[in-house]
Amino acid sequence: METITSLANDFLSQSALAIVGISSSKQTVANGVYKKLKTQKRTVYAVGKNTSSFENDPCYPDLASLPAPVQGVFIAVKKENTGEIIDECIRLGISRVWMHNFSGTSYSSGSIATPDIVQKCRDHNISVIPGACPMMFVENADMGHKCIRWFLNATGKLK
């Protein structure tokens, strides 16, 4: 079985990623992840239904609207919207998905990565990270995210 670290390293080594959940009206997890990944020599696409641009870059309404294929999708949206995004990943043949969950990779009540959604990804050969945050694994991670990663590892919540 792959570890969260090996899955994270694989995801973050991809040359083109989409970040779903971008907002121009409020600060979101997706916004922060987009900004960080944009600085790391890869193509990053912003995806947000109600935002036409972010950080002077175009923002696309959905994954099908992206100008080029991506190898991975980071999702930070409301729980009720996750299934629709996973279905779109399946239709587009996207092979990596990371679903944000601040509390680790367990199926907590607030997690968008429910057991059925995770199983759907696996049934369609999508490598899935059911929680945590890319900011905990990126090169030059900030001290706060390093501490969160350490704590989640120490408590067994980062499996």
Mean pLDDT (whole number) for 131-151: 88
Structure tokens at 31: 């916004």
Token pair 């350490």 in the structure block, residue? 150
Q: Of the candidates 137, 130, 129, which has an alpha carbon nearest to the alpha carbon of residue 106?
A: 130
Dist CA 14 CA 31 (whole Å): 19
What architecture (CATH level 2) is domain 4-154?
3-Layer(aba) Sandwich (3.40)
Structure tokens at 137: 């694994």
For the chain, give percent helix, strand, coil, nearest 5. 40, 20, 45
**Mean predicted lDDT score pLDDT of the chain:** 90
Beta-bridged to residue 60, according to DSSP, are 47
Mean pLDDT (whole number) for 127-148: 89
For the segment 100-122, what is each residue's pLDDT rounded down to a tens digit? 976 655 666 567 888 899 999 99
**Domain ranges within the chain, ordered by starting residue:** 4-154
pLDDT over threshold 70, residue 72: yes
Give every CB contact of residue 72 below 8 A, 6+ residues apart in sequence: 11, 14, 16, 17, 18, 94, 95, 96, 97, 98
Give the rounded percent of residues in the chain with a pLDDT score beyond 90.
62
Residue type, 41: K
pLDDT over threshold 90, residue 79: no
